[in-house]
Amino acid sequence: MMPIPSSKLSRVLVVGDVMLDRYWFGDVSRISPEAPVPVVRIEKRDERLGGAANVARNAVGLGAYTGLLGVVGKDEAGDAVQAMLTELNVNSYLNRDAAISTIIKLRVIGRQQQLLRIDFEHPPTDTVLRDKLTQFNTLLPEYDVIVLSDYAKGSLINVTHMIEAARALGKCILVDPKGEDFSRYRGASVLTPNKAELKHIVGSWKTEDDLTVKAQNLRMDLRLEALLLTRSEEGMTLYTERDVMHFPASAREVYDVSGAGDTVIATLATMLGSGMPLGEAASIANRAGGIVVGKLGTATVTKEELFG
């Protein structure tokens, strides 16, 4: 049994695309007479924090002093997000945009299998984004680790300015990236792409040596301290100036990968915020990802699961 590290000194600010994950669970017993699709009789409904809010949920669950800066609508779903954040004791800095609806991902589950996902989303307005950037600059001195959770929904249009401001104050900046242009993340401390995201930027690779060259070139081009590549069943690989460290995947049954990246970056942020070395923090984040994929939907891990 490993000793449980103290994360009471971890002060983590999560910024990014805030979502509400809704789950409708039901029984499937027949095919619709209208079309060759299953009929799901809904028996239970559940709501969970998604996107950047799920990162905050994971960080506070590990004991970090956690803040969340993002945008939601002035609607019932935004109220639900705020209520859950309050219950979890996350410091909520939500901007309520009356011109948009809160991002919702609705998943229909039948017989423990996801049958359908319906997305409701609108990008935030320019006025709200300007207010958010001002608020970010105000909050920076209160936190030590900044997590930028980019789901490409429009909340991190100003990410370059955020990284510059955080660097100027000596903050540790972790980015979960999205999109076709990683140059806007230049100057961050650690980038955490998955295989598909990295391949989209640097192209495919045939060998491990080829991957290392591509990953290290990207790390140097973006002036990163490290690049942490999440590789699904292949585990994770950490690329730094001095070393390449590989962490094999935990031998667990994969049940649901949704939200696993959120758990990885939240765990990494919390461990780094407590003063843990990067390699050790990455190893624990890999373990956390292996645990959470064995749970249904966006989920969290506990310290007892990680270190017990």
Q: 35-45, pLDDT tens digit by residue?
A: 999 999 999 99
pLDDT score recorded for residue 87? 96
pLDDT score recorded for residue 298? 59
35 assigned to some structural domain? no
- Spatial contact of 176 and 150, defined as CB atoms under 8 Å apart: yes
d(CA 160, CA 157): 8
pLDDT digits (tens, 9 = 90+) for 49-77: 999 999 999 999 999 999 999 999 999 99
- Spatial contact of 81 and 96, defined as CB atoms under 8 Å apart: no
pLDDT score recorded for residue 293? 73
Indicate if the pLDDT at residue 119 is higher than 90: yes
238 assigned to some structural domain? yes
Indicate if the pLDDT at residue 5 is higher than 70: no
Pairing of β 226-230 and β 236-240: antiparallel
Indicate if the pLDDT at residue 254 is higher than 90: no
Confidence band, pLDDT 50/70/90 cuts, at residue 304: confident
What value does the mean pLDDT take over residues 257-276? 88
- Spatial contact of 239 and 212, defined as CB atoms under 8 Å apart: yes
pLDDT score recorded for residue 9? 79
DSSP state of 115: E
pLDDT score recorded for residue 6? 62
Task: Indicate the average pLDDT of the chain.
Answer: 91
Indicate if the pLDDT at residue 7 is higher than 90: no
39 assigned to some structural domain? no
What is the count of structural domains for the chain?
1
Instruction: Please list the residues that pair with 23 across neighbouring strands.
Output: 46, 107
d(CA 34, CA 9): 58
Single out the catalytic residue among 17, 144, 150, 262: 262
Which domain covers residue 223, as residue numbers?
11-19+51-102+122-307
Measuring CA to CA, how many Å separate 85 from each of 46, 61, 302?
16, 12, 17
What value does the mean pLDDT take over residues 102-127? 91
pLDDT score recorded for residue 102? 96
pLDDT score recorded for residue 1? 44
DSSP state of 241: S
Measuring CA to CA, how many Å separate 272 from each of 7, 32, 133, 299, 304?
9, 51, 24, 21, 18
What CATH number is attached to the domain comprising 220? 3.40.1190.20
70 assigned to some structural domain? yes
4 assigned to some structural domain? no
What value does the mean pLDDT take over residues 72-96? 96
Check if 262 is active-site: yes
Buried b (16+ CB within 10 A) or exposed e, 110-147: beeeeeeeeeeeebbbeebbeebbeebeebbeebbbbb
152 assigned to some structural domain? yes
pLDDT score recorded for residue 8? 59
8 or 227: which leads in pLDDT: 227
Tokens of 173: 């900046």
pLDDT score recorded for residue 242? 94
289 assigned to some structural domain? yes
Indicate if the pLDDT at residue 294 is higher than 70: no
pLDDT score recorded for residue 306? 77
Tokens of 117: 């996902």
pLDDT score recorded for residue 241? 96
73 assigned to some structural domain? yes
Percent of the chain at pLDDT exceeding 70: 92
pLDDT digits (tens, 9 = 90+) for 218-252: 999 999 999 999 988 888 999 999 999 999 987 55
Indicate if the pLDDT at residue 13 is higher than 80: yes
